[in-house]
C-alpha cells in the first residue's frame, strides 16, 4: 500500500485545472495529474495520454472528463476509461482524498470509481 503524498491545500489547485506530481516527488514511475473539477471533486490519472506523448493536465476538464490537448481523446476522470478515439487504452487511476484540509494522493493505488474526493 502506497503512502499518501501531500499535493497541497484544495485552494491551491484551482477548480478546472490540474497539478502534475512528478516521479521524483511521488516515487511512482510515471507523472500523475491531480485534477480539480468545477464541481469541487479531485481525481488523479497518469498524466501522459495513452495515445502519444501529451500531458492530460494541459487538457480541458469538463464535468468528470478530461480531453487530451493533442488529439482530443477524452477520459473519464473517475474510472480512467477512454471515451473516444484516437486513444484506445484506458488511463490508470490513482486514489486521491482530501484529508485534514489537504489533498492527498496515493500513487499506484487505484481509485474507487464510486467515490470522489471532495
The minimum distance between CB 108 and ligand FES, in angstroms, equals 22
The contact pattern for ligand FES, residues 63-92, with x = CB under 6 A and - = no contact, is -----x-xx-x------------xx-----
**59, 76 Cβ separation under 8 angstroms:** no
Q: Is 116 in the site for ligand FES (CB under 6 A)?
A: no
Q: Is 51 in the site for ligand FES (CB under 6 A)?
A: yes
Q: The C-alpha cell of 84 is what?
A: 473516444
Which of 5, 18, 32, 54 is close enough to bind ligand FES by CB under 6 A? 54
Query: Of all helices (H) and strands (E), which one includes residue 76?
Result: strand 74-76
Write the DSSP assignment of 27-38 as a string of letters. -SSS-EEEEE-T
Amino acid at each position: 500500500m502506497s503512502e499518501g503524498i501531500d499535493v497541497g491545500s484544495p485552494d491551491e489547485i484551482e477548480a478546472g485545472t490540474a497539478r502534475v506530481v512528478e516521479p521524483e516527488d511521488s516515487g511512482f514511475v510515471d507523472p500523475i495529474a491531480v485534477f480539480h473539477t468545477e464541481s469541487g471533486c479531485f481525481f488523479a490519472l497518469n498524466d501522459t495520454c495513452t495515445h502519444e506523448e501529451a500531458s492530460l493536465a494541459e487538457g480541458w476538464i469538463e464535468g468528470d472528463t478530461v480531453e487530451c490537448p493533442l488529439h482530443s481523446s477524452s477520459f473519464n476522470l473517475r474510472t480512467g476509461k477512454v471515451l473516444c478515439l484516437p486513444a484506445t487504452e484506458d488511463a490508470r487511476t490513482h486514489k486521491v482524498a482530501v484529508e485534514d484540509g489537504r489533498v492527498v494522493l496515493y500513487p499506484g493505488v487505484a481509485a474507487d470509481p464510486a467515490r470522489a474526493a471532495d
